[in-house]
Structure 1
Amino acid sequence: MSFLGIDLGTSGARVLLVDENGQPLGASERHYGVSHPHHGWSEQDPADWIQALEDAVAELRAKFPQFSALKGIGVAGHMHGATLLDDAGSVLRPCILWNDTRSHVQAGRLDAMPQVRAESGNIVFPGFTAPKLEWVRENEPEIFDKVNKVLLPAAYLNFYLTGEFVADMSDSAGTSWLDVGKRKWSSFLLDASHMRADQMPRLVEGSEAAGTLRGELKSKWGLSETVVVAGGAGDNAAAACGIGALNAGQGFVSLGTSGVILAARDGYFPAPETAVHTFCHAVPERWYQMGVMLSATDSLNWLSRITGKSPSELTSGFGDVVKRPGSVRFLPYLSGERTPHNDSEIQGSLTGIGSGTTTEDLTRAVLEGVAFSLRDCFDALTATRAQMDSLMAIGGGTGSRYWVALLASVLGVPMQLPEGGELGAALGAARLGMAASTQEPLDQLITAPAVRETVEPNVDLVDAFAQEHQAFKAAYPAIKAVQ
C-alpha cells in the first residue's frame, strides 16, 4: 500500500508518496505564481494548482512503482482563500488568497457586529474568507450572483479529486462562517455576510473520508483499486499532524513565508480579543491556537531582493552564537500584521540606520524583527494559558541555525530541531489519508519525529532581548501615528 500527501502552498505544490508505514518513498514539487493586480491584492488561478498536481503525480508515477498501490490521499492547503464556483462547477474568478487585504473595510464591519466573535471564536481578519465574499458582493455583483459554491483551496482540490464538495473542520475554521466550538456551519455567521448554507461544502473531520478518487483520475493515474480521499486540513493543522502535535503541551514555531506559533489544545478556549486564532484541529475533539505574523522569511526575501544577495548568503556568516540586540530596528510589517495588532494597513520600518550601517546589520535587524514579532504571538498565546515549555522549529527559515538560536533566546524556551527527513504539511496530509483509508488509531499514525538537537536560550541574553522587545512593541504606535 502507498499513500499520497498533497501540500498546496502559496508558491507551489509538494506531493509526497509514503509507504504503509508512513515512511517517505519520494516527493515532487511544482511551482506557480501569485498575481498582484492592485496594491493589497493577491490572487491565483486554481487551474495552476491542478496543473502542478498533475505534473507532480506524473513524475511520481514514473519514478515509483509503489504509486500503483495507492490507497489513500490527503490534501493540505493554504487557508482562507476564496475559490468561487458557478452551478456547473466552473471557477468564476481567480482565487483571492490569504494574504489579500482588499476586504479590510468589510472585515471591520463584520467584526463589529454583535456576537460574531462569540460565534466564530475569532476576530474577522481581512484575510479570512467571509469578508472576501462581502467585497465581491459589493464590487463584483455579477460574479456574486453566480456563486453556487465557495471552496477553500484544499477543498477545491478535494472537488477535483472526488467530484464532491467537501471540506474539513480545520480549514473551514478560518472562514468566519464556522461555529468553531460546535464544529458546524453557523447560520448566524452566514447570514451576516449574505451567504447561504447550500453554498458551503459538506463538513468532515480531516481524518475522515471525504470521498473516493473519481474514475477518470483512477484511469489516468493507472490505478485499479478504490482510493480514499481524506477531509484533509489547513496547512498549519496538517503541519501539526506532520510533527505529531495533537495534545496540549505540543506545538511548533514555523519560519515560512509567514511566521506561526501553534499550540495544540485539548479543548476549545477562544480568546479573540488577543488576535489569537482559535481553530478546529484536523482530528476530532481537538483544537489548536496560533499567533500569526505575515512576513517571516518574506522579510528576508525582501532584503535579498534589494541587496542582490540570496537569503543563505545574507545569513551564512552569523554562525551559531547569538549576539546582543543590534542597533538597527526592523518592524516586519511588509504586508500588514495579524497577531496581536490585526492591522492590515500598518507598514514596516527600518530605524537606527547610519552611514556605517552594513548589510550584516540590516540582516540582523530583519532576523531580530521577525523574532520579536513572533514573541508578540507567543505572549498572546500564553495569555490564553496555552502551554509551551518547548517548541519544535520547522520551516525554511530554520536552515539558519543562528535564527533558531535567536528565537530560543527571544522566546525564552528551547527550540527542538527535528531529525532530518520529511516533515510538515505534506507528511501530515499523507497521515490523514492513511487514517481515512485504514481506520488505524490516530495516536499510532500521528507521532512526533526524533529530535536532532535542542537549542537552549542563551541565559545571558534573555533579559537584553526582553528589554529590546519592549522597545520593539513601543515602536508600533509611534510608527502607526505617522503612517
Structure 2
Amino acid sequence: MFMGIDVGTSAVKALLMDDASAIVAEADIALPISNPHPYWSEQNPADWWEATLNAIDLIMKDNAGALAKVRAIGLSGQMHGAVVLGADDTPLRPAILWNDGRAKTECDELETALPGLPLRAGVVAMSGMTAPKIMWLRKHEPDVFDAIRTVMLPKDYIRLCLCGEKATEMSDAAGTLWLDEENRTWNDDAIAATGLDRDQIPALFEGSDPTGTLRTDLAERWGMAKNVVIAGGGGDAATGGMGAGAVTHGSGFISLGTSSQLFVASDRYRPKPELLLHSFAHAIPDRWFQMAVLLNGASCLAWIAKILGETNIGDLLNRIEAQHKKPSELMFLPYLSGERTPHNDPYARGVFFGLGTDTAREHMAQAVLEGVAFALADAQSCLHAAGTYCELPGVIGGGARSLYWTQMIADIMGTPLARYQGGTKGPAFGAARLARLALREGTIAEICTPPAIEDILTPNQNRHAQYQPRLAKFRRLYNALREEYQDTAG
C-alpha cells in the first residue's frame, strides 16, 4: 500500500493506492486563503500541516487496516510558494503563493542582473515564482529576510513535518528560478542574485528517490510501520503527469484544477522562454516537460457559482448545458489571478464584456466556461509554436468531472481529449506512484501507465468553426485592456 499527499491551494488531498494502482481510500480537507492586499495571495503553512493530519486521520477512521500496510508516502504540492523558516524551523510569516503578483519589479531586476537566466531556468522571471518573492522580502520586510534560515516549497514543508528532513526534488525546484534545468543542479548565480546562500536552500533529489522515514510518533498515531519511506515527490504539475502516465516523449495532459496547465513530457531539455512556456525538469530522472501555465482554471467556475449564489455546481452546469444553443454573446476574460501563458501579466483581471438587460445567470456561467477554454486555446497555440504537440491529452483535475465542459474545451481547441477514470485526483495519485518508485520495486514504464480512459471527446467541427471568431475577439479584448491593467496597478 502507498500514500499520496497533495498540498493544493484549495485543499490537502490524501489517498491510498494499492499494488495494482487502485485507489483504496481518499480524503480532502479544505484550506483557507488570504488576500491581504491587491495582487497578494498567502496561506499559513500551519494550515497545510493541520489539514494533512486531519486528512490522514479521516482515512484511518474507516481504513485503519489499509493504512497500516502503507510502505511509502509520496508528496505533491502547489509550486512556487515561498515558505521562509527561521532558526527553529518555524515559519517567519505566511507563505507567498504561486498566484501572488506583488513581485513584478523584482522579476525585472533579476533578469537585468542575470540576462541568461531564462535559458537556464526554463522560463522568464514571473512574479509567482519563488526567487522574486525572496527579493521582495529583502526589500520590503528586511527583518524577515535577515531571519531566514531556510526557504522551502509547500510540499517540502510537509516533508519536514513528516520526517524532519529538509529536501526538495527537481520538478518543484524547477519553479523557483534557482534550478539549472538541463543539468539538474542548483544555479548558484541565481541563488546569490536573490541574496541567499546555498545552505539556505534544501538538498536536491529526484522525485522517485527516498528522502527520509516517517517520524515514530506519527507512525504510532496512524498505526503504521516505523520504516515508512518518504519519497521526493513532485510539484503538482509533474505529479499530475505521473498520475496521467505522461512520462514518455510527447505524452501529456490538461489540468483543470484551481489553475490550469497544458503539459507535454520530453526526453530532453527544450527551453522556449520567449513563448512564455515553462520548460522544467520532470519528477523522474532524464525527463523534462514543456508546460503552458494558466493561473485560472476550475477556480473561475467556483467563483461565478459563489457570486451567483449557486450552491450546487453540478446543477448549474446542467442548466447551462440545457440552454446552450450557440457560443455565448457574452465574453469573459478569466484572469481573476493574473495570467502567465501567453501574457505574463500579474495585473490582468477578470472582465465580462457584453452584459445586457436580458443576461441570465446561465449566460454568465457559460461565458466563464468558454473564457477558460479560450485561454487554453491560447496556451495550446504557444506549445504548437514551439513545435510541441500531444496527440491525445488526458484531462485531469476537478473540472474533468464535467463532460459538458471538457467537450466544450475540445470543440474550442479543436483537439481530441481523453477523460480518465479517477482522473480528478491526478497529483495525489502521481505522488503515490512516486512513493512506489522510491522502493525500487518496479520500473517507471511498469508503474506509470496512463489510467483507463473513460471516454474520448472528439471536437465537433461545426462548433469549432463557430467558436473561432469568438476566440479572435477574446484575444483582441485582452490586447485592448492590457494598458488599462497596467495603469490600474500603478
Alignment TM class, shorter chain as reference: over 0.9
**Structure 2 residue corresponding to 1:462, chosen from 452, 461, 464:** 464
Check the 8 A contact 1:207/1:436 in 2, yes or no. Answer: yes
Check the 8 A contact 1:393/1:417 in 2, yes or no. Answer: yes
CA distance in 2, matches of 1:280, 1:360: 41
* Residue 234 of structure 1: aligned partner: 235
* Residue 75 of structure 2: aligned partner: 75
* Residue 331 of structure 1: aligned partner: 333
Alignment partner of 1:197 is 2:198: yes
* Residue 315 of structure 2: aligned partner: 313
Query: Which stretch has the larger CA shift, 200-209 or 285-294?
Result: 285-294
CA distance in 1, matches of 2:352, 2:260: 19
Q: How does 1:205-354 map to 2 (within 5 A)?
A: 205-310=206-311, 311-319=313-321, 323-354=325-356
User: Residues 438 and 235 of structure 1: is their aligned pair in 2 closer, same or farther, counting only changes over 3 Å?
Assistant: same
User: Residues 406 and 98 of structure 1: is their aligned pair in 2 closer, same or farther, counting only changes over 3 Å?
Assistant: same
* Residue 488 of structure 2: aligned partner: none
* Residue 447 of structure 1: aligned partner: 449
* Residue 26 of structure 2: aligned partner: 27
Alignment partner of 1:369 is 2:371: yes
* Residue 434 of structure 1: aligned partner: 436
User: Residues 390 and 422 of structure 1: is their aligned pair in 2 closer, same or farther, counting only changes over 3 Å?
Assistant: closer
Check the 8 A contact 1:318/1:402 in 2, yes or no. Answer: no
Partner-residue secondary structure (3-state), 2:359: coil
Structure 1 residues 373-422: Cα deviation after superposition (integer angstroms, max 9, x where no partner): 11111111111111212211122122222211111111111111112477
Amino acid in structure 2 at the alignment position of 1:379: S
Alignment partner of 1:11 is 2:10: yes
Check the 8 A contact 1:321/1:402 in 2, yes or no. Answer: no
Partner-residue secondary structure (3-state), 1:174: helix
Partner-residue secondary structure (3-state), 1:355: coil
CA distance in 1, matches of 2:424, 2:131: 34
* Residue 66 of structure 1: aligned partner: 66
Gaps of 5+ in 2: 486-490
CA distance in 2, matches of 1:132, 1:62: 40
Amino acid in structure 1 at the alignment position of 2:337: S
CA distance in 2, matches of 1:319, 1:350: 20
Structure 1 residues 269-301: Cα deviation after superposition (integer angstroms, max 9, x where no partner): 010111111111111111111112212222222
Structure 1 residues 129-180: Cα deviation after superposition (integer angstroms, max 9, x where no partner): 0011001111111111111110001111111122111101000100011111
* Residue 150 of structure 1: aligned partner: 151
Partner-residue secondary structure (3-state), 1:39: coil
Structure 1 residues 435-481: Cα deviation after superposition (integer angstroms, max 9, x where no partner): 10244211111111111111100111222322321221111121123
TM-score (norm 2): 0.95
CA distance in 2, matches of 1:230, 1:320: 46
User: Residues 256 and 223 of structure 1: is their aligned pair in 2 closer, same or farther, counting only changes over 3 Å?
Assistant: closer
The CA deviation at 1:238 is: 0.5
Pairs aligned (count): 482
CA distance in 1, matches of 2:147, 2:414: 51
CA distance in 2, matches of 1:351, 1:59: 44
Amino acid in structure 1 at the alignment position of 2:162: L
Check the 8 A contact 2:393/2:416 in 1, yes or no. Answer: yes
CA RMSD of aligned residues (A): 1.7
CA distance in 2, matches of 1:177, 1:478: 35
The CA deviation at 1:236 is: 1.2
Amino acid in structure 1 at the alignment position of 2:98: W
Gaps of 5+ in 1: none
User: Residues 421 and 38 of structure 1: is their aligned pair in 2 closer, same or farther, counting only changes over 3 Å?
Assistant: closer
* Residue 95 of structure 1: aligned partner: 95
**Structure 2 residue corresponding to 1:380, chosen from 379, 382, 402:** 382
Alignment partner of 1:183 is 2:184: yes
CA distance in 2, matches of 1:21, 1:400: 27
The CA deviation at 1:320 is: 8.4
CA distance in 1, matches of 2:148, 2:484: 41
* Residue 168 of structure 2: aligned partner: 167
CA distance in 2, matches of 1:322, 1:178: 46
Structure 1 residues 9-47: Cα deviation after superposition (integer angstroms, max 9, x where no partner): 112111111223322221122122111111111111111
The CA deviation at 1:322 is: 7.0
TM-score (norm 1): 0.96
Check the 8 A contact 1:110/1:124 in 2, yes or no. Answer: yes
Structure 1 residues 253-278: Cα deviation after superposition (integer angstroms, max 9, x where no partner): 11111121111111110101111111
The CA deviation at 1:69 is: 2.1
